[in-house]
Amino acid sequence: MIQTIKTQPYGDQKMGTGGLRKKTKVMMQENYFENFIQSVFNAIGGVKGKTYVVGGDGRCFNAEAIQKFIKMAAANGAKKLLIGQNGYMSTPAGSNLILKNKTNGGFTFSASHNPGGINGDFGVKYANETGGQVPTSITDKIYQLSKEITEYKISDAADVDLSQIGFQKIEDMEIEVIDPISDYVTMLEKIFDFNALKNLFKSGFSMRFDAMNAITGPYATRIFEDILGAKQGSVIRATPLPDFGGLHPDPNLVYDKDLVDFMYSAQATDFAGANDGDGDRNMILGRHFFVTPSDSLAILTDNYQYVPAYKNGIYGVAKSAATSTAVCRVAQARNLPCYVVPTGWKYFVNLMDSNRITLCGEESFGTGSSHIREKDGIWAILFWLSIIAATGKSVEQITREHWEKYGRIYYMRFDFEGLDTSVADKLMTDLEEKLPSLKDKYFNGYEIQNAAPFVYNDPVDGSTTKNGLVIDFKDGSKITYRLSGTGSSGATLRVYIESPDKTNFNQDTQQKLQNLLKTAMEVAEISIRTGKTKADVNT
Ligand code: VG1
Ligand code: CO
């Protein structure tokens, strides 16, 4: 039976860079999740007769959330849900299913790289028929309606068994429980030359993939070990756990130090990769070598000819403003357009849909292409393996040759976490006001060329987005400041710094960027305002 439940708004359901993210316990409050889902439904004109892809990264509250979602979709008249077996679905696999089945969209229950568990975070990513997360115009509408909500609809039917593949029905809605991996594999087989990759492993090539106890374990085991023939045990931490085993499933130098240490040890494999909680981020490592995500995007772009799906040419590339300019150098040399967008994958969607770009990426360990409308962690690793298989070169060789050709852009991101929201907001507004006065000033040996907010005019829908403050220096160095939009409490200030070098490729990154970091802190008065003398996380 369909029930109408009276409710009251919580008022804080604003979606950030990657959907709605809250503390798990906040999401578990009475009617909280329900309010949000009903607000999404209301904002898109209802779900009557519509079909959606549904799944999550398996974190704490995933199972309960999916059951609630099913009952609400049924009560609101949805036609059908395609649900990953056991409620599991990586973000890229979900995007693929939306496009492949031409559904009206999809819901992924994940707070991505944020820690999970009862004391961690939970989240909802909502994608529309593009396969990508919806633009700000829609998230604004959802937020507005969530502040006015008075009731939601839900079926009182029993929980649905999601362990068996096949068809079921609840109210008038059809449910199809599917193997979330097979379609994803089929998609990747169309992009890459799997035989070439099989031969690579046959030749004795060794790799390690760290799933960080999150969603990509079963995907990676099937793809790398079962299909491509990587040695058994190559995929580690392969079972998704509700609390990710206490890990912070963010594949970077800090949160996957285990993998980094392993790759700098005597036991290191030829290659290593890791993915985040929901499988859209990737980290690339070679033997005793780390590739920055910005370099990775540039290197993939410069080697697209080694991948069957791209070898006949690509439309163009795009990066977020905070990502280093490495990829734009490649684009320029190869006569490709290079778009610079605000942080957040949704900004790439219009560019892909209008055939302006094929490859894109962000400094935050996200790389992808127009095969779907989300970043894709396993795709990025297969791309790297394809280059290695075709060239016979190591990760380090490939990267060093890239630097020889284009110069090296030293890059690092510094995060100041747990700030008081009002302090962080004021820091940004005061800094913005000060920017024009910084022009031509010298700081610690660096002369400022220009300082301004980053403003993006979407060439497709004409919308304008302002995100972050950028200081450009005369030598090509750059500092970008922005506040994170994925946190579940407090504020995080991100300071992104890059500095190019044409000849010296062997400096320590932190040392190279030291004076720029000092400048970044002075200009924004970070220590005085936040009490922090150094960043909490450097990646
Ligand atoms: C962060 C990253 C951004 C990424 C977003 C979602 O956002 O910086 O590049 O698109 O997370 O990624 P923010 O606003 O905290 O800087 V995921 O893997 O969390 O969906
Ligand atoms: Co993610």
Q: What is the pLDDT of residue 487?
A: 79
Q: What is the pLDDT of residue 17?
A: 87
Q: What is the pLDDT of residue 486?
A: 85
Please state the separation of Cα 86 from the chain's center in Å: 23
Collapse the DSSP code of 338 into the 3-class scheme (helix H, G, I; strand E, B; otherwise coil) and give the result: strand
Type of residue at 438: L
CA of 37 to the centre of ligand 1 (A): 22
User: How far is the C-alpha of 445 from the C-alpha of 89, rounded, in Å?
Assistant: 50
Q: From the alpha carbon of 375, which atom of ligand 1 is closest?
A: 18
Residues with CB under 6 A from ligand 1: 17-18, 112-113, 276, 280-281, 320, 343-345, 362, 364, 366, 484-486, 494
User: How far is the C-alpha of 65 from the C-alpha of 57, rounded, in Å?
Assistant: 12
Candidate of 59, 486, 537 to mutate for ligand 1, largest count of ligand atoms within 8 Å of Cβ: 486
Q: What is the pLDDT of residue 165?
A: 97
User: How far is the C-alpha of 346 from the C-alpha of 127, rounded, in Å?
Assistant: 9
The residues carrying an active-site annotation are 112
pTM (2 d.p.): 0.95
CA of 314 to the centre of ligand 1 (A): 25
- CB-CB neighbours of 261 under 10 Å: 10
Q: From the alpha carbon of 112, which atom of ligand 1 is closest?
A: 19
> From edge to edge, which strands make up the β-sheet containing 166-170?
20-23, 121-128, 105-109, 51-56, 80-88, 173-178, 166-170
Type of residue at 469: L
Contact 509, 410 (CB under 8 A): yes
Q: What is the pLDDT of residue 234?
A: 98
Contact 446, 471 (CB under 8 A): no
Q: What is the pLDDT of residue 489?
A: 81
Q: What is the pLDDT of residue 488?
A: 79
Q: Kindly list the averaged pLDDT for each block of 10 residues, start to end, along the chain of length 539.
A: 97 93 97 98 97 97 97 98 97 98 98 94 96 94 98 97 96 96 97 98 98 97 98 97 95 96 98 97 98 98 98 97 98 97 95 97 98 98 98 98 98 96 97 96 96 97 95 98 89 97 95 97 97 94
> Which residue has a Cα nearest atom 13 of ligand 1?
484
Q: From the alpha carbon of 343, which atom of ligand 1 is closest?
A: 9
CA distances from 257 to 57, 241, 414 (A): 22, 19, 17
Collapse the DSSP code of 470 into the 3-class scheme (helix H, G, I; strand E, B; otherwise coil) and give the result: strand
CA distances from 81 to 23, 74, 84, 166 (A): 26, 9, 10, 12
Contact 422, 229 (CB under 8 A): no
CA of 344 to the centre of ligand 1 (A): 6
User: How far is the C-alpha of 361 from the C-alpha of 341, rounded, in Å?
Assistant: 10
Give alpha helix (H) positions in 392-525.
395-406, 421-434, 509-524
CA distances from 400 to 26, 331, 407, 408, 504 (A): 47, 18, 9, 9, 11
Q: What is the pLDDT of residue 11?
A: 95
Residue 294, H or E segment = helix 293-302
Q: Under the phi-then-psi rule, with left for phi > 0, alpha for psi from -120 to 50, and beta for the rest, what region is 372? A: beta
Contact 394, 404 (CB under 8 A): no
CA of 506 to the centre of ligand 2 (A): 31
Residue 457, C-beta contacts closer than 8 angstroms, at least 6 positions apart = 463, 464
